[in-house]
Amino acid sequence: MQGLIDRLTALLSDGTVARVIGWKKGDMAYNPEPHMFETAESLKDFVYDGFCGANLSKMMIEASKLEGKTAVCLKPCDTYSFNQLIREHRVVRENAYIIGVGCRGKLDIEKIKKGNKGITSISGTELDGSDDIKIETIYGDKNISYKDALLDRCHVCKGKDHMIFDEVWGESKDTADQERFAEVEKIEAMTPEEKFAFFRNELSKCIRCNACRNVCPACSCRKCIFDNTKFDAQQKANVVSFEERMFHIIRAFHVAGRCTDCGECSRVCPEGIPLHLFNRKFIKDIDKFYGEFQAGKDPEAQSPLTDFTFEDIEPGERG
Amino acid sequence: MQRIGVFVCHCGTNIAATVDVKKVVELVRFEPGVVFADDYMYMCSEAGQEKIIAAIKEHDLTGLVICSCSPRMHEKTFRACAEKAGLNPYMVEVANIREQCSWIHKDREEATEKAVILARAAIAKVNLNTPLQEGESPVTKRALIIGGGIAGIQTALDIADAGYEVDIVEREPSIGGRMSQFDKTFPTLDCASCILTPKMVEVNQHPNITLYTYSEVEGVSGYVGNFDVKIRKKARSVDMSACTGCGECQAKCPLGKMGKIPSEFDRGLRTRPAIYMPFAQAVPAVPVIDRENCTYFKTGKCGVCAKICPSKAVNYEQEDEIVTVKYGAIVVATGFDIINLDKFGEYAYNESPDVITSIELERLMNASGPTGGHLERMSDHKQPKDIVFIQCVGSRCDDEKGKPYCSKVCCMYTAKHAMLIKDHWPDTNITVFYIDVRTPGKNFDEFYRRAVEQYHVNYVKGQVGKVIPQPDGSLLVQGVDLLDNKQIMKKTDMVVLAAAVEPNKGVRKIATMLTASIDNNDFLTEAHAKLRPVESPTAGIFLSGMAQGPKDIPETVSQAGAAAVKVVGLLAKDKLKTNPCTAKCDPMFCNGCSTCANVCPYGAITYEDQQVRGPGVNETRRVAVVNNALCQGCGACTSACPSGAMDLQGFSNRQITTEVDSICR
Amino acid sequence: MYKIAIKDLNTLFSKIAEEQELILPIKKAGQYNFGVYEEGCDIDGILTNKTVKSGKDAFFPQFETLYNVRKKITPADELENGEEAANTKIRTKLTIEAEALKDKDFVIFGMRACDVKGVEVLDQVFLTDPVDNYYKARREHGIIVALACHEPEESCFCTVFGIDPADPSKSKADVATWIVGEELCWKPITEKGEALTKKIESLLASADDSAVDAEIANITSIMDKLPNTKLSLEGWGKGKTDEKFNSDVWQKIYTPCLGCGTCTFVCPTCQCYDIKDYTTKDGIQRYRCWDSCMYSDFTLMAGGQNRTSQVQRFRQRFMHKLVYFPDRYDMYSCVGCGRCVDKCPQSLNIVKVIKAFENEQKEAGANV
Amino acid sequence: MCNCGHDSLVPQIGIITGITQETPDVKTFRVNAPDGGKLFEHMPGQCAMVCVPGVSEGMFSITSSPTNKEFQEFSIKKCGILTEQLHSLQVGDEVTVRGPYGNNFPVETEFKGKNLLFIAGGIGLAPLRSVINYCLDNRENYGRIDILYGSRSADDLVKLKEIQEVWMKAPNVNVYLTIDREQEGWDGHVGFVPTYLKEIGFSTDCIGIVCGPPIMIKFVLQGLKEMGFTDEQIYTTLELRMKCGIGKCGRCNIGSKFVCKDGPVFRFDQIDELPNEY
């Protein structure tokens, strides 16, 4: 990590970049926060470890409007989001200096906390850390394997390659050890009643905090239609239970074909709703109906849902 | 809130027999905004319209809802009526209580309830309507015809005769198209070139017509009244102004004698030199050098044509030239070809030279054709004594290898071929295998009956399963006679296949450039199959000839005329009214993400950096801008826009959700 | 003091639920949240796990109807004599049907001392003039059975606000309970608590008051070891508006804030609400729902004012908790429950805010 | 504080008994209880929540004076979804009203016996009209009254008829009207309110009461201070987004003060103490 800090310090000092978007040390063992560092001196608080799960690409929407270049630390999966934002003209590539940071999967603190209350320190979570992490709590210490504490999304890792970068720091690892669409298939296999019950159970927990939307790099609208008084979609609570489901379904439609499957929605949901399932179902269907497509892989590629082509079948025709 | 008048039409008994019109009036009277409601026997009639106008004035109405037939029928009528009374025409909504209600319901109560619901939705929408103003755009008084076959020629002549300038772009070295390949035409049996050549000459000499032969349309931008078209004039390697068309070069071209280059015009039944005119009557009568095959272009050696050309017209240095021309209207007359028969191996087309297509037969019977008009087998140059015609090869075909449609012309030209052959060689035995014989057309059935009754052509209802070339040079035809319900095994000398027609391969590219829609078979789609058959849904694009669907020559010529009239009607206008129901971007909410531009089929959306001011916002940012003249109001952008910044005027998101809400209420 | 074996809790709960609504933490789709007890609901682990949302919903639900407006459209010719029909032919008459107030008792089990303190904060807002009757009715009918913390977590810092998580009998609860070994100790505090206890007495055994002393001592010592319980509130509170409002620390720390409402919705004291209309088939339903000062449209007016930037909204929330509320009601409106610490998607929270100001002060001190 | 029955959040039905088109975008609505009479009693400067059910609810200042015993009036400018709906209503239509909310101008305390200077711009006259009419109806309690009122154009002057026929004719009242730009048929003063204020040059022996667009308030305040007015001598009324009207929903606070409950009327020295967030 010191190597990364040194490199960032050099970039700031020689004027290559005017600021750095990275993670700042938290006040606990596991809560670093996304941060914009503006001085070399402030980088002393920079941290990069297993808890730096946040996808920083969305912060570049605002940062790329600022004077000068911004260095941004992106993990392999974050670079897909960045590419998608380029495609949608939401970030200016030239104003970004992308440090592709290595990744060996990110940790799910909720998994660690299960049975480990009163955590005082966690060690071994750095990129070059051990296969086991050591958890110290006021109720006792424990070792668990890094792999067992991974975020669910890391088990379907899209790969260790950065899709876009100016330089790469650190080794990455493809942590995929599960079938990407296995969860979706499990739901597809349910009867309609079971599906309905499953989603009702999950979505009834929704508190409409909008964290999923606000963290989502595809939800980059200046003004979300759900916040816009111009439309009657604006709701902060669910008058009827129909709406709590509609919010997430409409959101899934809005990001369809643009969602890179970064998994931030599920990571931030305070109620642990597996929101990524909606998006992943869409991805699976798009793959099936339009051919394999990974949003954010190539910003120049045609997108199956939002690019008109003359090969598109006219309505009412066979095919 | 609007002051809305609701007018419910009986449409005689069309509506009133199923919908309780009086009850609809009573129920909608209490909808928000409604201040007046009435019914009448025929709302679209003079008297009905007077009623509307009177009510607008008396009740100070600001919006109208007409519950009547489909808006396709009378929306224009009622809008004009509102305008007469001083109301903006876009403050009128039509609730379709006929096609979508009275005609499809039997139960009076149900139909009445639905009529009320439809009226409510329209009322809810009118409450949110705002007056819209039509814009204006100028018209370039010049038309472009893509394709120089009989369809293009006729359209061009009609437009040019009306006094407007017309350009024809033809891909081949000469105009004339398919018709120039034909021998005789049905049902009159007059000679195709005798009636076509004068038209070709007329085109060439018409002061209002410019020909771009051996040229292709490369790009189209703009919109109705104002198209910019890029035309690539491919290098002929022959100076058009110097060439006298003497033909020396063709005669002396060494490749001509080697017989290696099949003639496209003669469907490969003979060969041509590398410098050539496709046929004798070609217009313009200027040869081109086929650079792919020309020895000079391949090796830098030869140069015979340049040396012998008396007028020094051959120019190897010539380059493709691109011109950009402005047009007000574009006619697509790209014509047809016959399908590739590779998938129909059972007919042995690729195996035996004596299995030919009808178009090849046309060339074989043509006096200027490869055999000088003498019908002979290509294998042994013997005159066939027995000929089998197979109909519907690839037409009316359910599976993937053929086409689902009827090619329309085959029944007639086969009868023509049979009679022509019998005329020349009466003892030829002719059998025609057919599914149905289709002869709807003036004098068509009489023509067909002549073949059967006078010429004793043997028509067999049934399909041919296989054609097997025999060692003795004959062909064995295995078929079935459905009427007699028996297998047929028949030896014959020649098999003629009535291969299905299909749109010219180039039409897909052209349609893409023009944003004109095509159907699954690549035929161009009409704006309305019945009421607007020669117009494309894209404004300013017109359809002529086979590009729109199978048709024979008289039909092609009449459609060409119809397209010409539509073009003239457009060019006669100095300004065009633009549809105000176009998309509009609210820069406050626009993300600048380009999604709308990516889904727009008309290229109507561009992006520009704009100063955006609003509550809490004052910055320059990338926002979508809609070109109102290009926008067709299809709404693709409004549904693709994630933030709801794009709205279709007259059909805004709010208006539509309000309609839905009021229906679901 | 009474006690009941923890394994018999289900019996206790169904006994309580027989007579009145019982609200308690329920495990649903992997998360713990307060909900209405029904036969067969999952109460596994509810005694030791923190709920995602506090129990404030029981008194101030996320969504509640205030009243319904019915519209009656009357044709002009049917209007009563003397009623003016104006220039329209019809008139809309409105009637208002207020939503009935809560009129039945209910029990809420399992609130912690911090949650109960949260209710006390809500009381300040809703029970001062003009009284919010919807809230008041629920408050009067609600019987709070508080549960002493058994395994405080590292995010907890209620003691900073003078709350004793080990002894809920010091809170405004009606009944205090403790987990002692395999038993739950039960101590009624108020009259309401006594009455409830009476109803279930048959299931309880009596216990000595001293039974819980060891547990209280244990929890107190655990609290001492937790990282955030040493937090200092110096410089916050009444009258600190100028000093804190104008600090440049806000600008330095707010950037990660997503402007989502997670912290406000899991908070036991956040009480901002919105009032909205919902058009139904037969009228208009006017409801109130939780709102969040973090949302960009919270204060937005047609002219664009005010609190237009996220830093202003971020500042508002913490100023409200730590300065404005003390100014107005003489108490902090943070209870140190740690939910925002656990749940903020960006790991930003009130503890970090307080620490950031503390550091700033230290650095400023060092520079002088 | 409020005389609603069930709860302060439940409104009463108000019936519109009169509508006056004041300017192209301002209408004054007269509201009565369904069975006649006033909905409630109020003091000058207080507001009420007026709602078109199904659309939304908004806080509007009560324009009529409490001395009017027959009805309440609201002068409302068309500027958003709610106000547009209000403008489309007709006499006989019903709305819902709750209130009165907030504090009032201290007409019975600080203002009593003093000279008063009212300075208003555009629709800013709406809250001041209530005070002016209250003072005129209790003329003996107040000293000299100066009214300086300006608008974009002559057509945008609200309540012009009342100004000309009542206020201008009242004893010891001076009315100064101005419009921003020259206009045909206008022979009065032309120029912005703050400029006109300096031109007239009022003496400081009075209380200033200011209401109008924020930019006007800013420059009027500057002008008054240059003339020697102190913060304690100047009052205004603030407006922020409000939902509940009773200091609970959490929107309209400036620091620890709620505009709906502790305001909307503030003396400038009180505003100075608040954080700059309005």
User: How many Cβ atoms from other residues are within 10 Å of residue B82's Cβ?
Assistant: 24
pLDDT reported for residue C85 = 42
Q: What is the mean pLDDT of residues B520-535?
A: 91
pLDDT in tens, A131-143: 999 999 988 899 9
Asked whether the beta carbons of residue B615 and residue C303 sit closer than 8 angstroms, the reply is: yes
Is 70 exceeded by the pLDDT of residue A27? yes
CATH topology classification for D115-237: Rossmann fold (3.40.50)
Domains of chain B: 4-126 (3.40.50), 142-234+322-335+522-571 (3.50.50.60), 248-319 (no CATH), 338-502 (3.50.50.60), 579-649 (3.30.70.20)
HSE-up of residue C282 (Cα within 13 Å, Cβ side): 3
Q: From chain C, pick out residues whose CB is under 8 angstroms from the CB of A217.
A: none
pLDDT in tens, A91-133: 999 999 999 999 999 999 999 998 888 899 999 999 988 899 9
pLDDT reported for residue A235 = 61
Is 60 exceeded by the pLDDT of residue D4? no
Identify the three-state secondary structure at position B552. coil
pLDDT reported for residue C82 = 44
* Confidence band of B166 (pLDDT split at 50, 70, 90): very high
pLDDT reported for residue B270 = 92
What's the count of helices (H) and strands (E) in chain D, helices before strands?
A: 6, 15
pLDDT in tens, A241-286: 666 678 898 899 999 999 999 999 999 999 999 999 999 999 999 9
User: Which sign, positive or negative, has the C-alpha torsion D174, D175, D180, D183?
Assistant: negative
pLDDT in tens, C67-120: 999 887 665 555 554 444 443 445 668 899 999 999 999 999 999 999 999 999
Please give the span between the terminal C-alpha atoms of chain A, in angstroms, as a whole number.
Answer: 55
pLDDT reported for residue B598 = 92
* Confidence band of A302 (pLDDT split at 50, 70, 90): confident
Give CA–CA dist B359/B183, Å, rounded: 9
pLDDT reported for residue D89 = 86
Averaged pLDDT of chain A: 90
Which residue numbers of A have CB closer than 8 Å to C's CBs?
26-28, 31-36, 54, 59, 117-120, 137-139, 201-202, 204-205, 207-211, 213-215, 227, 229, 234-239, 267-268, 270-273
DSSP string, chain A: -HHHHHHHHHHHHTTS-SEEEEEE--SSTT--EEEEE-STGGGGGB--BTT----GGGHHHHHTTSSS-EEEEE-HHHHHHHHHHHHTT-S-GGGEEEEEE--S--B-HHHHHTT--SEEEEES-BTT--SEEEEEETTEEEEEETGGGB-GGGGG---S--SS-SEEES-------S-TTHHHHHHHTS-HHHHHHHHHHHHTT-----HHHHH-SS---SS-GGG-TTSTT--SS-SSHHHHHHHHHHHHHHHTTT-----HHHHH-TT---THHHHHHHHHHHHHHH----TTS-TTSPPTTT---TTSPPTTS--
Q: How far is C141 from chain D (nearest CA, A)?
A: 18
pLDDT reported for residue D278 = 73
* Confidence band of C173 (pLDDT split at 50, 70, 90): very high
CATH 2.40.30.10-classified regions of chain D: 12-101
Nearest CA in chain C to D213: C303
CA angle C163–C169–C173, rounded 5-degree value: 90
**Which of B512, B595, B601 comes nearest A306 by C-beta?**
B595
Asked whether the beta carbons of residue C345 and residue A268 sit closer than 8 angstroms, the reply is: yes
How would CATH label the architecture of D12-101? Answer: Beta Barrel (2.40)
Nearest alpha-carbon partner for C221 in C173, C151, C117: C151
Give CA–CA dist C148/A299, Å, rounded: 55
pLDDT reported for residue A319 = 36
Q: Is B29 touching C (CB cutoff 8 A)?
A: yes
Q: Is B614 touching C (CB cutoff 8 A)?
A: yes
**Which of A88, A231, A318 comes nearest B593 by C-beta?**
A88
pLDDT reported for residue C280 = 75
Q: In chain A, where are the structural domains located?
A: 2-169, 182-290
pLDDT reported for residue B553 = 96
Residue A259 identity? C
Q: Is B35 touching C (CB cutoff 8 A)?
A: yes
Is 80 exceeded by the pLDDT of residue B78? yes
Identify the three-state secondary structure at position B436. coil
pLDDT in tens, D154-185: 899 888 888 888 898 988 999 999 999 988 88
Nearest alpha-carbon partner for A113 in B582, C338, B391, C367: C338
Looking at the DSSP bridge assignments, the partners of residue D29 are D19, D74
Instruction: Determine what percent of chain C is predicted with pLDDT higher than 90.
Output: 73
Q: What is the mean pLDDT of residues C119-145?
A: 94
Asked whether the beta carbons of residue B615 and residue C304 sit closer than 8 angstroms, the reply is: yes
CATH 3.40.50.80-classified regions of chain D: 115-237
User: How many Cβ atoms from other residues are within 10 Å of residue A281's Cβ?
Assistant: 18
pLDDT in tens, A61-95: 999 999 999 999 999 999 999 999 999 999 999 99
pLDDT reported for residue A184 = 96
Instruction: For residue A93, report the phi and psi dihedrals to the nearest 5 degrees.
Output: -55, -45
Note which residues in 615-634 of chain B have CB less than 8 A from chain C: 615-617
pLDDT reported for residue B281 = 93
Buried b / exposed e across C134-171, counting CB within 10 Å, b at 16+? bbbbbbebbbbbbbbbbbbbbbbbbbbbebbbbbbbeb
Asked whether the beta carbons of residue C129 and residue D243 sit closer than 8 angstroms, the reply is: no
> A–B: how many Cβ contacts below 8 A?
74
Pull the structure tokens for residue B541: 């694009």
Residue B158 identity? D
pLDDT reported for residue B386 = 97
Beta strands (DSSP E) in B224-298 are 226-233, 261-262, 271-272, 275-276, 288-289
pLDDT reported for residue C86 = 41
Note which residues in 421-480 of chain B have CB less than 8 A from chain C: none
Q: What is the mean pLDDT of residues A23-30?
A: 92
Q: What is the mean pLDDT of residues C38-56?
A: 91
3-state helix, strand, coil in chain B (%, to 5): 30, 25, 45
Q: Which chains neighbour C (Cβ–Cβ under 8 Å, 3 or more pairs)?
A: A, B, D
Give CA–CA dist B322/A210, Å, rounded: 56
Phi-psi region of D144 (alpha: psi -120 to 50; beta: other; left: phi over 0): beta
Q: What is the mean pLDDT of residues B455-467?
A: 95
Rg of chain C in Å (alpha carbons): 24
pLDDT in tens, D252-276: 989 999 999 998 999 999 988 888 8
Is 60 exceeded by the pLDDT of residue C61? yes
Pull the structure tokens for residue C238: 């009444």
Is 70 exceeded by the pLDDT of residue D227? yes
Give CA–CA dist D27/D89, Å, rounded: 11
Q: How far is D44 from chain B (nearest CA, A)?
A: 30
pLDDT reported for residue D1 = 37
**Mean pLDDT lowest for which of A242-256, B582-596, D48-62?**
A242-256
* Confidence band of C209 (pLDDT split at 50, 70, 90): confident
Q: From chain B, pick out residues whose CB is under 8 angstroms from the CB of A88.
A: 591, 593-595
